[in-house]
Chains A and B, each alone.
Chain A
Amino acid sequence: MFRAAPMVRVTLWFLASESQDAALLLARHGEFAPVSPDEGGDESTHHEYPTEYPTHHPVMSYREAFLEAESRLRKLQELVKEPDPVVPDDAMAPALTGLQGTNERLKHVWLAFSETVETLTKISEEQRNLRALQESFARLHGLNLDLSQLFHPDSLLNVRIGSVPVGNLPRLKEAMALGGYVLAEFDRSGEQVFAVIVGPRGSDVAGLLSQSGWRDMNIPDALRTRPEEARRYLDERSATLASQWQQAQVLLAAQHQRYGERIREAAMQLVLARPLAEAAHTGVGQRGQLVRLTGWMPKSGLNALQTALATRFHGRFLSEVRAPQADERAKVPSLLRYPRWLQPFAPLVRSYGLPRYGEFDPTLPFAAGYLLLFGAMFGDVGQGAVILLMALLLGHRLGRMCWVGVAAGAASMGFGVAYGSVFGHEDVIAPLWLSPMHAPTHLLTVAIGLGAVFLVLTFVVNIHNRLAQGQRAAALGAAGGLAGLVFYLGALGWIASLAGWVDWAFPASVLSATGLCFVALHVGMESRSPWGERLLVTAIETLETGINLFANTLSFMRVAAFSLNHVALSLAVFALAQGLGPTTQLLTEVLGNIVVIVLEGGIVAIQAMRLMYYEGFSRFFSGDGVAFKPLVLSGRACLFRQD
């Protein structure tokens, strides 16, 4: 629970002809996360921009065929809804030729569908144009031109009527003028402008018109005759398009009927082919007739996997297993498992980062610390109960996060009992511990003490993490390491002596100075600058260590400050309610409590998070761990996508 599951690096060799079944078995097992066999050797592999997309490898051909087929299937599935395939336990993955065949069949099916989709798009576009034409037709009379004369082929003028995108009109007008043409706009519809262009016949403007997106308006003879004839023509055309639209829809349904089985079969094949295609993205080696799959898996699952491989491949495979090496620990994926009750808190830790492999996983201390801080800052039996009930009521919308709300409400109720506060009233129950309003100094002292304990724990965790990463010097000498801890404990002893609680002033000063000297020594040795700069850096960073620890500790005063704030807000509500009639007083208190719960509750939730993140996590948690993403049989994990 406090660290990622122990991992082993597994390299498996299979016959190339069985590689797709090997990957399928690994996906069924669900605990094998493939990695590039040479990961870590080349800087470019860590770059955000992958610079190569290998296509020459036989396994890459498999992946290529898979990606093409998957893209076609996805497009088809957008048109025809099919349920996810149920994969039989004994189903085998398709070989390369089988997958290529599936891809070809999907291509054939998609082209059939695509033709219908294209037809529908064109009909839709023509319907839009026709509507615009119907609207424009009435206005054509406004031009007061004899159209039949204008369009006469023997005319000296080249006359065209058409439309152009509105954004291109001014520029086209200017350009046409260069060619001796005049452009006159006579109507607009949406983003299109309808215009007439007139210029000398023989002048070459075809390229310009193409470039500008000009569309000649095909004016049928009918429109050049009587208006009633024109209207009839437009109505007929409109009816024809509607009928064509219906036919295309019927065709689409028929195609679904015809190709449905083929699509379902292809979907099944692709589910089975996906594991090898995904593994190929991260790197599958091939030598002769053998294929090598490399990846990380939890040590606990190794025996089960080897048994499954032996049963399926009867010795036709080789495996090499080794523990993570010291220099690759940063790249080992972290597989974190939690009991159900702790799982709701995991996303809150993830939002800061993922622990590196071997690092301390702070999820449990986070949950405990967060609830402790929230309860201490927002201790009230009544308001805590409201939070708890609201979280339960909104459970279906909040999902698992509702349990964080339930726990926070319970913590608030617990501290409410300790503070003796019920909806802000301190006279309903006697405080089990103390009333913040009546013992503010004591509360502030406890808060700072809590901060000191919290910071000492972060030192311990940080020392553990540095040692786990093989950074011995940082674990011992860094400001967040043993030297920093010695300095901090000494400083705490010295302050306690000043306050008169203990009499350790001299030994505490010596301890503190020793720790600080080691921190300075470490900073000086780590710096690669010239001597002058190194001295300056050492002085500043050492001073910063002291100031930061002081500030970090004082930061916990907010725990007491918010508990006092809670009381003060309640008093303000009571002051407002005082002197009002019984009903209005009750209403004011209810509204006041709602404001306190929403406003102060929200602020306290954020402050508790902030304390955990910035005073806690930032001191020991790099948060740059690699997520464990195993091959799985179904779902769209899409390791291979470039994003």
Chain B
Amino acid sequence: MSAYLNARVSLLRARLWQRLDFIRLLDAADGDVAGVLSEQGLPQLASGYLGQDAHSLEQRIVARVLDETRVLLRPLEGVARAFLLYWTQRFEISNLKTLLRGKMIAERPALLLARLTPMGSFARLDGEAMAHVEDLAELFRYLETGSYAAIVRQARLAFEESHDPFLLDAALDRAYYEGLARHAKALEAEQGTDFARLMGSYIDRINLVWLLRYRFNYNLPPAQVFYLLVNAHYGLSLSLLKNLATKADIAAVLSALPDSLRTVLADATEISEVARRLEQRRLLLAEHILRKSGPAFTRAFAYLMLRERRLRDVRAILRGRQLRLSSRAIAHVAGVA
């Protein structure tokens, strides 16, 4: 299993876009973009890319990621398989949010369906049935009988009291990521430190960025901010997060971080900059893991992380070109500046 998976990851690794590929796409004339995308193994994004809206591009990217995930899932079993399946559910949680928001504003079912990301064989939700419910109450009733009942019940309780869509999203996200951390914990003993470091860089980024946003953008009280963070066991422990949530400003939060994170975030003053640097740190770690000969599953997970990030960078460039933004601005957003 391990040798097969390793061979698969090594083959897939060649598909990762490199800096020069991004620059080529950035510099290509409009008529050549489709050719560049096809040559670089993304013919799905090439067909009529200028006419594609953001949803269509996102759907094609997710379809690509799911296709490759399916290939990597084949030799997996047990907790590793369960983890990767749960990992794909991020896209379905996103569909769930789309459905809930759509029902809040009584959106037409057909429009709502058009905005859902098709999950293919990974689907656990019946998008057609949910898009056709009459209102939010009926949607909640429906969801609480399905695969996401536990996650949705928490979100409903939060929403019914406040009727605040933000609380609904936050409850869904927190429940999902806590589930992800639980799935990861079951794998850490067999996968070793690289996997734990990768998960740590992922969850720590989420926690720190959420903490800063909730605390200083949305001005939520420390107790609520703390409650909304993901309960995990990585670099940012719960006791540390509790302490960070009480800090008065961004600088105070950053100065109270452990050394490894403080070094990465030195001189950062904006939340967007914090997010960018932590994302960069996560991707560098994933690249490092992918290069070395560690456990096959960890390499596969690192590959999927990198692949998705780079596909989103491709999307950023395509969207930038569609919006006629300057090359410099696009390069900055896509991380190739």
Contact = CB atoms under 8 A, between A and B. Distances in A.
B16 to A, nearest CB: 21
Nearest to A43: B43
B109 A51 contact: no
Contact of B167 (A181, A205, A210): A210
B158 A179 contact: no
Contacts of B121: 48
Contacts of A531: none
Contacts of B66: 49
Contact of B128 (A42, A67, A204, A213): A67
A27 to B, nearest CB: 21
B227 A175 contact: yes
Contact of A44 (B44, B109, B171, B228): B44
Contacts of B132: 67-68, 71-72
Nearest to A176: B223
A346 to B, nearest CB: 26
A580 interface: no
A212 B154 CA distance: 7
A44 B121 CA distance: 16
Interface string B200-232: 000000000000000000001111101110010
Contacts of B226: 174-175, 178
Interface stretch (A165-173, A325-333, A560-568): A165-173
B223 A175 contact: yes
A168 B127 CA distance: 29
A47 B44 contact: yes
Contacts of A185: none
Contacts of B128: 67, 71, 641-642
Interface in A31-76: 42-44, 47-53, 55, 60, 64, 67-68, 71-72
A118 interface: yes
A211 B138 contact: no
A207 B110 contact: no
A111 interface: yes
Contacts of B44: 43-44, 47
Interface in A194-239: 204-205, 207-215
A160 interface: no
Given A114-B138, A208-B227, A49 B114 contact: no
B60 to A, nearest CB: 6
Contacts of B158: 210-213
B185 interface: no
Interface in B131-169: 132-135, 137-138, 141, 153-154, 157-158, 161-162, 164, 167
A50 B110 contact: no
Contacts of B118: 49-51, 642
Contacts of B8: none
B242 A178 contact: yes
Identify the interface centre among A49, A67, A107, A111: most chain B CB within 10 Å of its CB.
Answer: A49
Contacts of B133: 71
Contact of B154 (A55, A60, A165, A176): A165
Nearest to A207: B224
A111 B59 CA distance: 33
A213 B63 CA distance: 35
B265 interface: no
Given A49-B59, A51-B56, A68-B109, A208 B224 contact: yes
B134 A111 contact: yes
B69 to A, nearest CB: 12
A607 to B, nearest CB: 27
Interface in B239-266: 242, 245-246
A110 interface: yes
Contacts of A52: 56, 114
A643 interface: yes
B221 A208 contact: yes
Identify the interface centre among B67, B110, B141, B238: most chain A CB within 10 Å of its CB.
Answer: B110
Contacts of B171: 211
B25 to A, nearest CB: 20
B170 to A, nearest CB: 7
A244 interface: no
Nearest to A204: B221
A120 to B, nearest CB: 11
A211 B113 contact: no
A441 interface: no
A121 interface: yes
A460 to B, nearest CB: 35
B333 interface: no
Interface in A537-561: none
A49 B223 contact: no
Nearest to A63: B110
A1 to B, nearest CB: 34
B280 interface: no
A497 to B, nearest CB: 43
A60 B44 CA distance: 24
A178 B223 contact: yes
Contacts of B137: 118
B109 A175 contact: no
Identify the interface centre among B62, B111, B113, B221: most chain A CB within 10 Å of its CB.
Answer: B221
A171 B162 contact: no
A211 B226 CA distance: 11
B129 interface: yes
B193 interface: no
Given A64-B110, A67-B109, A171-B227, A210 B43 contact: no
Nearest to A69: B132
Contact of B157 (A121, A172, A205, A213): A213
Nearest to A638: B128
A55 to B, nearest CB: 4
A52 B53 CA distance: 11
B161 A209 contact: yes
A394 B202 CA distance: 58
Interface in A312-343: none
A208 B220 CA distance: 9
A165 B67 CA distance: 38
Identify the interface centre among A50, A178, A204, A207: most chain B CB within 10 Å of its CB.
Answer: A207
Contacts of A111: 134
Given A71-B129, A179-B223, A207-B221, A49 B63 contact: yes
A44 B60 CA distance: 9
A434 B154 CA distance: 74
Contacts of A48: 63, 67, 120-121
A174 B221 contact: no
Identify the interface centre among A43, A67, A68, A210: most chain B CB within 10 Å of its CB.
Answer: A210
Nearest to B224: A208
Contacts of B120: 48-49
B241 to A, nearest CB: 10
A181 B224 CA distance: 13
Given A47-B44, A49-B120, A207 B157 contact: no
B88 to A, nearest CB: 12
B129 A212 contact: no
B154 A210 contact: no
B221 A179 contact: yes
A260 to B, nearest CB: 20
Contacts of A643: 123
Interface in B31-79: 43-44, 47, 56, 59-60, 62-63, 66-67
Contact of B224 (A53, A110, A175): A175
Given A43-B47, A211-B170, 11 more contacts: A44-B60, A51-B56, A53-B114, A55-B111, A55-B114, A67-B109, A67-B132, A174-B238, A207-B162, A211-B224, A643-B123
23 contacts: A48-B63, A48-B121, A49-B59, A49-B62, A51-B59, A53-B110, A71-B132, A72-B132, A114-B135, A121-B141, A175-B224, A179-B223, A181-B223, A204-B221, A207-B220, A208-B224, A210-B158, A210-B162, A210-B167, A212-B227, A213-B158, A214-B161, A642-B123
Please provide the 4 A-B residue pairs with the shortest distance between their CB atoms, ordered closest to farther. A213-B157, A71-B132, A179-B223, A210-B161
